[in-house]
Structure 1
Amino acid sequence: MTADVDLAGAPDRALAHITPSRHGLLFMAPMPGGKWRLIISVRSPGGQRPDPPTLSEVQAHLRRRGLPRATVTTVHKSAGVLLHHGLADDFGRGSVALAGDAAHVHSPAGGMGMNTGIQDAYDLAATLAAVHGGADAYAMLAGYRRRRMAAARQVVGFTDRLMRLVSLDTRAVHVVRTAAFALAGLVPPLGRRAALMVSCVTRTPARTGAPRLPSP
């Protein structure tokens, strides 16, 4: 479930916060205007999309996840989201190219779908600029499809494994998961690696043969 809320007694607004618990993951990100974006993982009976949470339900989820001092004062909007992951069979055909949500879908947590879509758009813009400059259109679009499918497949796989991990609610998994989050925060190389994965930084254009956008 997602909710944009006003909170009294909220944690530090200079940071995004991830709180793993036996009840599921809570992700909190500060938003403009003093709001908070909450992403709350819940089990949905029968695999159905959950109903948008009410103010009292959001408050109950915060308390169960260890934030008893945070009080929800306003819910500006909320939604139930059924998590699923998908990847197009191909990122283009002929003169048609796919990018963003038309090509891959992800969990909203971490903005990984958004980040991957932005990178699709950059690569496609640079590819079309190269074609406009005289490069072979077939070869360039085939290269775009190959690069972005590989990157999206990697991200979709990572997202699926991550959401499976955070959705498990046994005590043993909770202990290991909490330790992993703590270790990533204490060991800088692990933290940087985790940040790059969530940012969907897979390979640089120079290493994949992707074109670069020309300078303005």
Structure 2
Amino acid sequence: MEAAKPVSFSKLNKYEAPKRRKTKANRLTEALEADADKDEEAEPRGVVYLGSLPNGFFEPQMKTYFSQFGEVTRFRLSRSPKTGGSKGFGFIEFRQESVAKIVAQTMNKYLLGDRSLVCKFKPKDECHPKMFKGWRRKPFDPRPRRREKQMLSVNDRPTVEVDGQAVPQLTELQVKHHERRRKKLKGKLRQLEIDYDVDEILNGGGTADNEAEAEEPEAQEQKQPKKKKRRRAAVG
């Protein structure tokens, strides 16, 4: 009886873990895996808080100025959502944590422009996960867009024909303002003990008076002034 031939382990390993095909997708996967291994072995990133920033020191200036210490990966300047202006503080992230610590030590209380700069190193557990969310987004001033929207809401309103003229309808805000003023006027008249019907006047009760006032100038125009007689010079 013949003995069984031994199987080489190299063949078993060859069939269990076949090599990847040399495609673009596999190359990209291998490159990403290699970068992930490098990042795990390399030093972690570090974040520095920047406070008391002078006016005019924005995102481009942050990147340009702090790049002299090391590689800057991300940065974010806190801005007002109403005006888009700087709030005077921000955060900057360096590739290496040691560089971030050196920057926080050396640049703290550094006189930048007309202000004393505040720099503090932020540990990883104190950093919010969404601290640098939208850091690539370009800053903009939302006030012109908000002003245009307000103008459209006031001007582009449905119209009502009154005496042959197209009059825009009142908005809900305008109605509330009118009601508030009417209540305020009623309260003042009540305090002064004056019996006056405000609703009748405001709702068109004074139309008869307006018509009478409109007729008076017409009657005055019909009356012509008397001509003065000229005196003749006496002939001697």
Which structure's CA Rg is the greater one?
A: 2
Greater helix content:
1
Judge same fold: TM > 0.5, yes or no. Answer: no
Instruction: Name the TM tier (shorter chain).
Output: under 0.3
